[in-house]
Structure 1
């Protein structure tokens, strides 16, 4: 390149013989063609296949260190991430997890102390019960709860999805895997069950067993619809966050009271992502078919 620059200078001063000027232009052309071809090949193969010199203009490297996160985080796209959060839950931690609606705080149903932590983290009123999350209706079938055919059919039509059903509590919960937290989930006589339509959440429940969950937000504040919201609002109080990007919904699940379903009555306790009208339509269709 030094020779080329000298030739350009001599050409500008009209001191360069015509033959050398032609040779210089040919050399510059070859260099340009090689540079273009090498850049294209290296870009296609994402590695340096053809050698090139260092860039003339170097970008200034950003050496700023990102602020330390307030709690461990894991990617939902990696099996190692899922196992990391499962391990924290098994150890009695509280973690933020994605669901098919909004982000939730989760604790193992084997650990009542972890469920107590959720109440403290959220400043949740003690009289508000916490529901449980399982991976499939088949888990319920294996626990053999004494549900009526109409309730079973209703559950099979709304699970998995953004609907939570309140049903009667019983010893069948121990077979489901609720364990020592039996008295800390639901009320004395009832329990709310979620079966999310979310592969990651269901895999997590398969690893840990039933999880006690509630929305991942301080009580009275809007739901968290991205893992960054969970980290920023509650990261300093919890043991981990399973990161999955934007949530599928902006509101929580629709809660349906099924305690009187055998009388032909269901009650919408909270209208969430599934419209109350749609829930009633499903129930009326099943009721007319079975009763």
Structure 2
């Protein structure tokens, strides 16, 4: 059975559509939606079965952690052990935006999302559909690109449908994504911080704020 697709206004997401998607997520379903980078596949962070389903649908290795998507910096308080003082500058400069930050995690974060690691990647996107959806669910969402692992990430809803549409519950069609490039991943638990993946934000841009970085 193919996933349902609903068009959504990317500037003023329709409340009824967002609430329908949120209800699916709260019930353990999977929803694909646009971020400013690529289309993401989301699940309730605190539903281990839903998180595990993402790995299976994508064919993603079970040792490759997923990010957690928030809609407010205050959400960090119950997801990470601490926010290093130096990290506040990078948060102020690039959040919300296409940057995933890795912190030491709290025990409240299930190991299914982090693959048993002591760290967790956190993303605070600026896409209004994504932010509205997280707010409607009322808690952070696990987030990964909405595609089969190993193939290019989707930047349009039809690509998501063609790739994984048979295995998910709903696709929110907000049109083509703004950037079309995945988020940059920065590990803040190393000294100096380490660029795990360079994406929409360049190493040079981050080094202007934090100084010299390691590059994985």
Q: What TM-score does the superposition give when structure 2 sets the normalisation length?
A: 0.89
Report the structure number with the largest CA radius of gyration: 1
Offset at residue 145 of structure 1 (A): 4.0
Matching of residue 73 in structure 1 with residue 5 in structure 2: yes
Shift of 1:156: 2.2
Separation in 1 of the partners of 2:17 and 2:7?
5
Matches within 5 A, 1:78-117: 78-117=14-53
Q: Equivalents in 1 of 2:56, 2:62: separation in Å?
A: 9
Residue segments in structure 2 that go unaligned for 5+ positions in a row: none
TM-score by length of 1: 0.67
The number of residue pairs the alignment matches comes to: 206
Q: By how many angstroms is 1:216 displaced?
A: 0.7
Higher-RCO chain (CA-CA 8 Å, sequence separation at least 6): 2
Q: Secondary structure at the match of 1:206?
A: helix
Q: Confirm or deny that 1:185 pairs with 2:113.
A: yes
- 1:257 and 2:197 matched: no
Q: CA deviation at 1:142?
A: 7.2
* 2:130 paired with 1:201: yes
Structure 1 residue ranges (4+ consecutive) displaced by more than 6 angstroms after TM superposition: none
- 1:56 alignment counterpart: none
Cα distance in 2, alignment partners of residues 234 and 132 from structure 1: 20
Please show how residues 105-254 of structure 1 align to structure 2 within 5 Å. 105-141=41-77, 145-171=81-107, 174=108, 182-186=110-114, 187-208=116-137, 209-254=139-184
CA contact (8 A) 2:96 2:125 kept: yes
CA contact (8 A) 1:75 1:82 kept: no
Looking at structure 2, the residues matched to 120 and 142 of structure 1 have their Cα atoms a distance apart, in angstroms, of 27
CA gap 1:169/1:250 in 2 versus in 1, 3 angstroms = same
- Paired with 1:144 and 1:112, the residues of 2 have a C-alpha distance of 18
Structure 2 contact 80–105 (Cα < 8 Å) conserved = no
Aligned to 1:280: 207
- Structure with the higher fraction of residues in strand conformation: 2
C-alpha distance in structure 2 between counterparts of 1:144 and 1:129, whole Å: 15
Cα–Cα, structure 1 residues 143 and 115, in superposed 2: closer, same or farther, change >3 Å? Answer: closer
Q: Work out whether residues 137 and 156 of structure 1, in 8 Å CA contact, stay in contact via their aligned partners in 2.
A: no
Structure 1 residue 272: Cα displacement: 0.7
Call closer, same or farther: CA 1:141–1:129 in 2, change over 3 Å.
Answer: closer
1:144–1:270 CA distance, 2 compared to 1 (3 A): closer
Deviation at 1:139, TM superposition (A): 2.5
More helix, by proportion: 1
